[in-house]
């Protein structure tokens, strides 16, 4: 108890400095939590677009971005015929723009595509999808920001399209997108091929055989399972690395704040540490008092950071412009990891101050009254 | 008290100081110049001399707070050197009382006194029992929950004495323990020290300027210019 009380008293002696240190850790934790949660949510949504109930994705090998992937149409037709394939859905991704919205994701799909079949149709119906080449279906949010409804003609890019339906999906990106018949999308984007083929196999045990067959018959293509794709897709890797780097920088700054607080704390109580020494405190016990203070700052900062991070995510969810685009579900594992990182940061920040405290010689420290 | 068997055993006075020299700044400031001293167990010894003659330095060396530049010091028959576990020595064999008490002002009297027990890992109830006993004997039983800031100079010094005796050390080193107190309180604190040293069987080595108090000790040792001139 006296250990804790000593740590607590030392922190109370310099309240403002302690509060700044706690705030530093809290903002670092909040930043890491927010950035990583938003990006993980976004990645999850994007992966959801690709899979849509499928198990495998086939796309052009060695492309940095799926928008640049070009899968020949004959390949899709051939793969769809394979025994092990339950069904294959060709998808062409593109980006279109309208007057006020420079970036709208466009999905070129067939009427059999699960996105069309499994969506909730708010207006129109899946059966009429692709009846006319200028027909498009809008996601619910796209319809809202384009102020469009079924039966209306709207300009998209350099073309004029007829809205044949409005759908609601479980995915924020899809809800903000435009769905075109595959052939119309190919014409619109001047592409003969596809971006990806999403595959559902008859048996999940055939995944390896499927990948091998794709590699043998179409050396320019690659087949990956959903989880495999999420792990290996370079854009996701960059996003994840960026998120952790931003959070890591935040924590490093928080750690420097803790280090500053702790070293100042040690400097201002050299005499007190000398007294502990005279009373038989070992190096380990002296260091424990410093680490104890640091732990109090880190834990308080981590708790405050979780509250600030959760509040930030809640507010982000309420921002209309972001509605549906960000999945702000906080995962317990991530929260635990962030708190652990904050504690480790606090401990790292206390290393030098603890080392300094351990080297204080009581005879010198007590000489100065 | 701890004893150690893995270090050189010289004979068994409570304190033996042999040809001890101490200087600072690479020898530029000589503080002790070949001190020899033996103190028997249970003695009360006053160390007198002008300021700067080396009294405090000698106490620090005997208490293990500093190391001699040259010479040997043994406490309870065991030499203080690099082979000795100085943390255990300071926990169990020696207690300090300073002129300015050196208590932690934000802690209570009780918490200050429990620090040595905490360091030594003493069982909490045993430590509390010892504290109650010492508080009773020093007349501090009603002040245990008071912060040091709220205590008078005499009460602070009583607290420092309680703390020094918490782990039942064999040797009590007091560096001008009455130096910052008025005459009446000085007398009371000194009597308390003597009474406790006697009842606890502790060897007391006390640096003091007060000749009258020194006269009440078993021995008085005079120091000048870093050397000992025993007077009595």
pLDDT digits (tens, 9 = 90+) for A90-109: 999 998 877 777 778 899 99
SS (H, E, C) B65-88: CCCCCEEEEEECCEECCCCCCHHH
CA A229 – CA A87 distance, rounded (Å): 19
Q: Which bin fits B71, alpha (ψ -120 to 50), beta or left (φ > 0)?
A: left
Q: Return the residue of A nearest to B97 by Cα.
A: A278
Token reading at A249? 């920088």
Flag whether pLDDT at A265 surpasses 70.
Answer: yes
> Which burial class, exposed, middle or buried, applies to A89 when counting CB atoms under 10 A from its CB (0-12, 13-18, 19+)?
buried
Percent of chain B predicted with pLDDT > 70:
93
**What is the number of other CB atoms lying within 10 angstroms of the CB of residue A171?**
20
Q: For residue B2, what pLDDT band results from cuts at 50, 70 and 90?
A: very low
**Within an 8 Å CB–CB cutoff, is residue B178 touching chain A?**
no
- Give yes or no for a contact between A30 and A305, defined as CB atoms under 8 angstroms apart: yes
Chain B residues with CB-CB distance to A13 below 8 A: 106
> In whole angstroms, what is the distance from residue A158 CA to residue A188 CA?
9
Q: What is the mean pLDDT of chain B?
A: 88
Write the burial class of residue A342 (CB in 10 Å: 0-12 exposed, 13-18 middle, 19+ buried): buried
> Which of A6, A279, A361 lies closest to B119 in CB terms?
A279
pLDDT at B7 > cutoff 60: no
Per-residue pLDDT of A20-37, as tens digits, reads 888 888 988 888 888 888
Confidence of residue B8 (pLDDT cuts 50, 70, 90): very low
Pairing of strands B171-175, B219-224: unpaired
Name the residue among A155, A160, A50, A149 with its Cα closest to residue A107: A50
Instruction: Measure A271 CA to nearest chain B CA, in Å.
Output: 8
Determine how many CB atoms are found less than 10 A away from the CB of residue B98: 23
Under the banding of pLDDT at 50, 70 and 90, the label for residue A53 is low
Q: Do A3 and B118 touch (CB under 8 A)?
A: yes
Closest chain B C-alpha to A346 CA, distance in angstroms: 24
Write down the ipTM of this complex: 0.88
Q: What are phi and psi of B189, to 5 degrees?
A: -65, -40
Residue A262 pLDDT greater than 50, yes or no: yes
Q: What is the pLDDT of residue A156?
A: 83
For B24, other C-beta atoms within 10 Å of its C-beta total 12
Contacts of B163 in chain A (CB under 8 A): 279
Structure tokens at A177: 């997108």
What's the CA gap between A82 and A220, in Å, rounded? 18
DSSP code of residue A285: H
The residue in chain B having the minimum alpha-carbon distance to the alpha carbon of residue A367 is: B56
- B95 CB within 8 Å of a chain A CB: no
Q: B residues 109-138 near A, CB within 8 Å? A: 111, 114-116, 118-120
CA atoms within 13 A on the CB side of A153: 5
Of B65, B92, B114, the CB nearest to A363: B65
Residue B1 has pLDDT above 50, yes or no: no
Alpha carbons B3 and B107: distance in angstroms, whole number: 32
The size of the A-B interface in CB pairs under 8 A is 58
Question: A213: number of CA atoms within 13 Å, CB side?
Answer: 14
pLDDT at A83 over 60: yes
What is the structure's pLDDT at B72?
93
């Amino acid at each position: 108890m006296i250990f804790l009380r000593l740590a607590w008293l030392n922190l109370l002696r310099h309240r403002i400095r302690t509060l700044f240190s706690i705030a530093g850790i809290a903002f670092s934790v909040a930043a890491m939590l927010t950035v990583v949660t938003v990006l993980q949510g976004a990645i999850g949504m994007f992966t959801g677009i690709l899979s849509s109930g499928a198990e495998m994705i086939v796309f052009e090998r060695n492309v940095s971005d799926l928008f640049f992937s070009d899968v020949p149409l004959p390949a899709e037709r051939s793969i769809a015929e394979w025994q092990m394939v339950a069904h294959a859905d060709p998808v062409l991704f593109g980006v279109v723009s309208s007057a006020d919205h420079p970036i709208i994701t466009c999905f070129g799909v067939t009427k059999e595509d699960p996105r069309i079949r499994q969506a909730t149709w708010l207006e129109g119906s899946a059966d009429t999808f692709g009846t006319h080449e200028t027909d498009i279906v809008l996601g619910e949010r796209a319809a809202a920001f384009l102020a469009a409804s079924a039966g209306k003609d709207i300009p998209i890019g350099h073309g004029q399209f007829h809205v044949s339906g409005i759908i609601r999906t479980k995915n924020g990106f899809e809800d903000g997108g435009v769905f075109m018949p595959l052939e119309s999308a190919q014409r619109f984007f001047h592409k003969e091929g596809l971006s990806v083929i999403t595959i559902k196999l008859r048996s999940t045990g055939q995944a390896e055989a499927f990948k091998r067959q794709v590699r043998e018959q179409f050396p320019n293509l690659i087949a990956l399972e959903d989880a495999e794709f999420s792990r290996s897709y370079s854009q996701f890797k960059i996003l994840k690395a960026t998120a952790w780097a931003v959070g890591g920088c935040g924590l490093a700054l928080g750690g420097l704040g803790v280090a500053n607080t702790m070293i100042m704390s040690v400097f201002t109580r050299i005499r007190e540490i000398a007294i502990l020494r005279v009373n038989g405190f070992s190096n380990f016990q002296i260091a424990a008092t410093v680490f104890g203070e640091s732990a109090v700052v880190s834990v308080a900062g981590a708790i405050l950071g979780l509250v600030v991070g959760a509040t930030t995510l809640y507010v982000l969810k309420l921002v209309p412009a972001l509605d549906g685009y960000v999945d702000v579900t906080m995962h317990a594992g991530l929260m635990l990891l962030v708190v652990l990182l904050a504690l480790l940061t606090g401990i790292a920040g206390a290393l030098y101050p603890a080392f300094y405290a351990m080297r204080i010689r009581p005879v010198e420290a007590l000489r100065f009254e | 008290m701890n004893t150690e068997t893995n270090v050189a055993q010289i004979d068994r006075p409570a304190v033996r100081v042999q040809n001890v020299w101490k200087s600072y700044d690479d020898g530029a400031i000589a503080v002790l110049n070949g001190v020899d001293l033996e103190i028997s167990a249970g003695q009360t010894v006053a160390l007198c001399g002008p300021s700067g003659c080396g009294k405090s330095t000698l106490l620090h060396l005997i208490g293990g707070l500093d190391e001699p530049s040259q010479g040997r010091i043994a406490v309870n028959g065991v030499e203080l050197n690099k082979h000795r576990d100085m943390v255990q020595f300071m926990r169990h064999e020696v207690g300090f009382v300073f002129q300015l008490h050196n208590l932690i002002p934000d802690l209570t009297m009780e918490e200050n006194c429990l620090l040595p027990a905490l360091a030594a890992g003493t069982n909490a109830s045993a430590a509390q029992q010892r504290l109650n006993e010492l508080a009773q004997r020093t007349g501090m039983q009603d002040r245990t929950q008071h912060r040091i800031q709220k205590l008078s100079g005499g009460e602070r010094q009583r607290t420092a004495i309680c703390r020094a005796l918490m782990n039942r050390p064999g040797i009590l080193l007091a560096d001008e323990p009455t130096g910052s107190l008025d005459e009446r309180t000085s007398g009371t604190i000194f009597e308390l020290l003597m009474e406790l040293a006697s009842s606890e069987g502790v060897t007391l080595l006390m640096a003091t300027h007060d000749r009258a108090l020194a006269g009440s000790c078993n021995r008085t040792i005079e120091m000048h210019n870093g050397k000992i001139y025993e007077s009595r």
